[in-house]
Amino acid sequence: MNSRRNFIKTTGLISAAALFTPTDAIAALPEETLTKIKPQALKPGDTVAISSPAGAVWDENQIEKFSDILKSFGFKVVIGKTLKEKFGYFAGSDELRAAEINELFANKTIKGIFCMKGGWGCARILNKLDYKIIKENPKVLIGFSDITSLLLAITSKTGLITFHGPVGNSGWNEFTKNVFTNVVMTKKQFSFPENPIGEDRIYTIHPGKVSGELVGGNLTVLSSLIGSEYLPNWKNKILFLEEAKEEPYSIDRMLTQLKLSGVLDSISGFVFGKCAKCLAEEPLKAFTFHEVILQHIQPLKIPAYYGAMIGHIENKLTVPLGISATMDSDKGILSLEESSVS
């Protein structure tokens, strides 16, 4: 009899769940009451570490070059073991890369973790990270591209603010350094600067202003995590994305995945940075990136624009995940409503 009752109860829940659309399902999920944790602002004299939680570093001259860049901020630099490891296209085994991230968070002398490069591999270590240790030892974690997996998982699991920003083999020019300093080394609100002269201008997809928590990263990496436990509740979020070397049909496919999974119908604002080298191989037989973005985002009727300095580009913004922000899609302005660090 108990088995029968359990069966009826279970099938009833399944039947009820079947009535939900993907958007309803996301909206119905209980939003975890994670306390927002801000890492301490980095300052000259702090010890920071360089790690490679994804791809192998084949040009080791880049390690010294990046160390010098970090030292120019006044940091003391620790080189992670992963920077010298090679395991296929990874910077060491999954176990080694995960262990290094856990150890660097546990090490109280380390105040910040900088990722050397992206590539592929961070998603393979998400189930090997010690989120309790990470939550109890908050510190700056910064990177982009494949590092998106780490940022999303850690912010979603712990409430720790993480940073979508330059990696070791990025160009650290004055624009990039200035934004990094204002977001990670100062305790103040900050409005991201306008695009430098010569860069593409902002394009408004749908006008308006909206406030919400920033979350996002690389489109390919983010869409590959759909269905996992390492993504946030998307309700009332401002989603920012970037991509590189993907044809418009591929962008179309991934945005469709975000639509079908309910993500796009849950967010309150949308920013696409740069889609570097996202051209069709046969342009006369394809949509442009611009057309694909409009097809997916305009019908949402939420404030949205593209062209921000986010992505695989020289002039790069450092964007915090989990921080409250306001966006004005008419002017292409994104402003942080609070400091990103404590």
Q: How confident is the prediction along the chain (342 residues), in pLDDT tens digits per residue? A: 444 444 444 444 444 444 444 545 444 444 457 899 999 999 999 999 999 999 999 999 999 999 999 999 999 999 999 999 999 999 999 999 999 999 999 999 999 999 999 999 999 999 999 999 999 999 999 999 999 999 999 999 999 999 999 999 998 999 999 999 999 999 999 999 988 877 888 999 999 999 999 999 999 999 999 999 999 999 999 999 999 999 999 999 999 999 999 999 999 999 999 999 999 989 889 999 999 999 999 999 999 999 999 999 999 999 999 999 999 999 999 999 999 999
159: left (phi over 0), alpha (psi -120 to 50) or beta: left
Domains of the chain: 47-172 (3.40.50.10740), 203-336 (3.50.30.60)
Catalytic residues: 145, 242, 312
Instruction: Give me the pLDDT at residue 166, please.
Output: 97
C-alpha span between 309 and 237 (Å, rounded): 19
Instruction: Give me the pLDDT at residue 201, please.
Output: 87
**DSSP assignment letter at 340:** S
**DSSP assignment letter at 228:** S
**DSSP assignment letter at 216:** E
Looking only at the bridges linking them, the beta strands covering 209-218 and 324-328 are antiparallel
Say which residue the tokens 């262990």 belong to: 99
Please, where are the H alpha helices in the chain?
2-18, 22-28, 61-72, 94-106, 131-136, 148-158, 174-184, 219-224, 248-260, 289-297
C-alpha span between 237 and 324 (Å, rounded): 9
pTM score of the predicted model: 0.90
Angle at 222 between CA 175 and CA 121, to 5 degrees: 90
- The answer to whether the beta carbons of residues 39 and 184 sit under 8 Å apart is no
C-alpha span between 132 and 137 (Å, rounded): 9
Instruction: Give me the pLDDT at residue 16, please.
Output: 43
